[in-house]
């Protein structure tokens, strides 16, 4: 594969026009959309309008006149189109961690009511906040948290298993679970299924209802381009939505918030998963981000925008893997699964033979304008160079140029410079 091949792929790309939806800094190849998506062009004007007109002129009237009040549900319906959920089943609110606390609490409450199962199962390599939330809830409610490797999943789902909590695409490796098969396995064992879609929503096709999952949460600032700290989302299967109250019973999740009753009465359905007054500026920014992803639907003949996004994502990651192996032979080990069905929208590399330098190489690339990130390893997992590929704004020539910079960093031993070996607060 060569540069002309990559340019030809860009010329043939049916999604190429979607790149114009974003403000991309000159001289930057942004391969970190799996940590923070880029800025949509519509966001600055939308936020300025909310501030100057809806807030500045409309004042409190904008809860009604500008549609602030039902923004969590309206955005939730947009997210639902990306994750295989139905209208009225998703709300955008709070953070991923807080939403996980809500849905996992509900799952544990249901497990308690159903019998004596007292074990929550998750992967040892799951994102730490998920494990911290689970650890806290298990301690408070008399459950045990059992951490396993993926290969141990079938044996772990025994008669004590109450809840299986997994991240659909692993944040560190990019490995993706078969959602339908794993959910079926959990249900056959009598356990409830909780999915974290932080690295899935807007990146890979998700079909929560088709998989018959129980609960899911996800992030708004990665592939959904909602901005730093954007509101997250929560989904609850309709069979559970009216059965249990969530633990953060704030007034926004009340059946009639402006009734001002002294006693809590939960809203019907997923609306009860709201808590306090909603962050309108942040929700407005997320709305713009969601529209950038949904724009792919207009280019898809069947209205399923995730299908062409997934096709391009796999082609981008295939190209990156091929070029790294072709142009940097023997320097890296591929950590992300090679099989398409097992791969998210990122490629993760480790230094061959666990040689040092992963962090410094990433820093040297960032200095050249190729922005990826680094995740520290441990005794079981090597240090990771992590590159996210968002098909909305990444092209094939970007991939070629990113690998060209990587080659130059290695050949010139730029990564050995002291400034690239000083750890920063955010890696």
Q: Among 221, 273, 332, 420, which one carries the catalytic annotation?
A: 221
222 catalytically annotated:
yes
Residues 6+ apart with CB under 8 A from 219: 96, 197, 198, 199, 201, 230, 232
Give the Cβ contact number of residue 159 at 10 Å: 11
Whether 215 is catalytic:
no
Residue 19 appears among annotated catalytic residues: no
> CB-based contacts of 22: which residues, under 8 Å, 6+ apart?
38, 39, 40, 41, 225, 292, 392, 393
The shares of helix, strand and coil residues in the chain, as percent rounded to the nearest 5, are 45, 15, 40
- Among residues 386, 387, 389, 398, which one is catalytic? 386
CA distance 138 to 141: 5
Distance CA 268, CA 247 (A): 15
Q: Is 221 a catalytic residue?
A: yes
Catalytic residue among 196, 214, 287, 373: 196
Catalytic residue from among 46, 172, 222, 343: 222
Any residues with CB less than 8 A from the CB of 349 and at least 6 apart, and which? 324, 332, 333, 334, 335, 358, 384, 385, 387
Cβ atoms 202, 180 nearer than 8 A: no
Instruction: Provide the 3-class DSSP secondary structure of residue 201.
Output: coil
Which candidate in 30, 101, 105, 127 is catalytic? 127
Q: Give one DSSP letter per residue of 236-298, joined into a string.
A: E-HHHHTT---S---GGGBSSGGG--SS--BPSGGGGG--S---HHHHHHHHHHHHHHHHHHH
Residues 130, 144: Cα–Cα separation, whole Å: 15
Catalytic residues: 127, 196, 221-222, 386
């Amino acid at each position: 594969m060569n540069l002309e091949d990559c340019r030809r792929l860009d010329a043939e790309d049916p999604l190429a026009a979607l790149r114009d939806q974003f403000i991309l800094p000159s001289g930057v190849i942004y391969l970190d959309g799996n940590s923070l998506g880029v800025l949509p062009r519509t966001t600055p004007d939308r936020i300025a309008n909310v501030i100057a007109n809806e807030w500045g002129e409309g004042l409190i009237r904008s809860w009604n006149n500008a549609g602030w009040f039902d923004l969590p549900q309206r955005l939730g319906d947009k997210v639902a189109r990306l994750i295989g959920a139905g209208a009225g089943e998703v709300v955008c609110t709070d953070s991923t961690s807080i939403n996980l606390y809500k849905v996992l609490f509900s799952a544990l409450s249901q497990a308690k009511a159903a019998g004596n199962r007292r074990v929550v199962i998750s992967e040892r390599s799951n994102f730490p906040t998920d494990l911290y939330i689970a650890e806290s809830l298990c301690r408070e409610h008399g459950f045990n948290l059992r951490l396993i490797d993926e290969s141990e999943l079938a044996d772990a789902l025994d008669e004590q298993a109450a809840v299986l909590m997994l991240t659909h695409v692993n944040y560190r490796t990019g490995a993706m679970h078969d959602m339908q098969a794993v959910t079926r396995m959990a249900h056959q064992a009598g356990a409830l299924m909780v999915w974290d879609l932080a690295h899935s929503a807007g990146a890979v096709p998700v079909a929560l209802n088709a998989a018959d999952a129980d609960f899911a949460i996800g992030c708004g600032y990665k592939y959904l381009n909602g901005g730093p700290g954007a509101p997250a989302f929560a989904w609850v299967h309709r069979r559970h939505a009216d059965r249990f109250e969530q633990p953060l019973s704030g007034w926004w999740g009340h059946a009639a918030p402006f009734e001002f009753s002294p006693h809590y009465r939960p809203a019907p359905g997923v609306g009860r998963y709201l808590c306090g007054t909603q962050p309108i500026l942040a929700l407005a920014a997320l709305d713009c981000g969601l529209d950038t992803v949904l724009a792919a639907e207009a280019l898809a003949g069947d209205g399923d925008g995730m299908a062409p996004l997934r096709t391009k994502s796999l082609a981008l990651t295939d190209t990156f893997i091929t070029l790294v192996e072709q142009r940097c032979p023997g320097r890296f080990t591929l950590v992300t699964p090679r099989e398409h069905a097992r791969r998210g929208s990122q490629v993760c590399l480790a230094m061959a033979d666990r040689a040092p330098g992963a962090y410094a190489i990433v820093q040297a690339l960032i200095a050249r304008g190729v922005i990826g990130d680094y995740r520290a390893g441990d005794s079981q997992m090597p240090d990771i160079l992590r590159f996210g590929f968002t098909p909305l704004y990444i092209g094939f020539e970007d991939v070629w140029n990113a690998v060209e910079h990587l080659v130059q960093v290695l050949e010139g031993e730029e990564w050995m410079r002291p400034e690239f070996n000083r750890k920063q607060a955010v890696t």
